[in-house]
Amino acid sequence: MRRRPGIGGLQKAAAARDQYRLLGENVAKLRTDMMKEQLATFKSQLEEFARKHKNDIRKNPAFRAQFHEMCAKVGVDPLASNKGFWAELLGIGDFYYELGVQIIEVCMLTRSLNGGLISLQELCSHLRQRRKKDREAVTEDDCLRAISKLKVLGSGFEVITIGKKKLVRSVPTELNKDHNQILELAQGQGFVTVEQVQRRLSWTSGRVIDALETLLEEGLAMIDNGIKDGKCQYWFPCVSSVYSFVGSDT
């Protein structure tokens, strides 16, 4: 028979476990303290960097994107508040506030054409035309950051990805899987026909027509009956470059 350890042996084993536990806690605390110290140092360097390159961050979109990446790594959000150190130093909160207002304006003015669904690329194009006088370049990354702040207002703004395109939705329209597949299919030439959708997606004509009719009712599609072969074309301004907003430079 194996001999069981006595009380003294159990006490020694328990004491050893306590020592290992304390050692582990001390090592973890030491690592945490070192990380806090490193983060504090990095934040201080980040503030100095921001002071030195203030104009570049405001004017250069590539530089601005890199600055946001640096901030994210240390848990700093320059857009979290319009008050405080970062807002006063960079005025970066004002930059995204103004951009957010312009995004709302463009979406409202183009809604009659696209039903409240506009490609991120087209949105940026309109914004660049509007901001030519400001000489502050705007990137898709800037638009995405501004839109993420609009969500706080409960304004219904959302970025969705369909196929290879990012689309900005400014109306509370719920698109199902069928609608998304049709929009993705339309990205090739800006439109689809009932026959084309049937062939490419292996759907019944009833399913195709039902989905297209819903998209028409929501204002996301426009129908062209003037085709020589008699096949109606359903155009989607949100994925087509054919339609452009004339008043974007006003």
Give 232's Cβ-side CA count (13 Å radius): 12
User: CA–CA separation, 17 vs 107, rounded Å?
Assistant: 64
How many residues would you count in the chain? 250
Topology classification of domain 173-243: Arc Repressor Mutant, subunit A (1.10.10)
Domain ranges (residues) in the chain: 43-171, 173-243
CATH 1.10.10.10 fits 43-171, yes or no: yes
Predicted confidence (pLDDT) per residue in 129-143, tens digit:
887 766 567 889 889
Report whether 96 contacts 153 (CB < 8 A): no
By three-state DSSP, how is residue 225 classified? coil
Question: Exposed, middle or buried, 99 (CB in 10 Å: 0-12/13-18/19+)?
Answer: buried
Domain 43-171 identical in fold to domain 173-243: yes
Q: What is the pLDDT along the chain (250 residues), one digit of tens a residue?
A: 555 555 666 666 666 676 767 766 666 666 666 666 665 666 676 677 777 777 777 777 777 777 777 777 766 666 654 455 555 555 566 777 788 888 988 998 888 888 889 999 999 999 988 877 665 678 898 899 888 877 766 657 889 898 888 999 888 777 889 999 999 999 988 899 999 999 999 999 999 999 999 999 888 899 888 677 778 899 998 887 654 444 444 4
